[in-house]
Amino acid sequence: MAAEYVVAYEIFYANNDASYDSIYEFFRGSKRRCDDIARGFAGVTDECRPVKFSAVVVIEADKWDEFSTNSP
């Protein structure tokens, strides 16, 4: 069975006196499909908070699950 991958978006928000970031899982599937989605990434907007910068990450699902489970 082929390894499963995750597309995650990392968003750096700009707040008046502090910046912070968040990372969200967007899609889970084959490496090829995840790479296709990542290539089409045009950035992220948020209607509630100003976005300073955004990035896309493709990572193996096992590593993502470990990261997201062990994150504070």
pLDDT of 1 higher than 70: no
> Mean pLDDT for the chain?
87
Look at residue 72 in the predicted model and tell me its pLDDT: 61
Residues 14-39 have pLDDT tens digits of: 876 556 688 889 999 999 999 999 99
What's the Cα-to-Cα distance from 32 to each of 3, 11, 23, 40, 60, rounded to whole Å?
A: 11, 23, 21, 13, 12
On whether the CB atoms of residues 11 and 46 are closer than 8 A, the answer is yes
What confidence category does residue 50 fall into, taking pLDDT thresholds of 50, 70 and 90?
confident
On whether the CB atoms of residues 28 and 46 are closer than 8 A, the answer is no
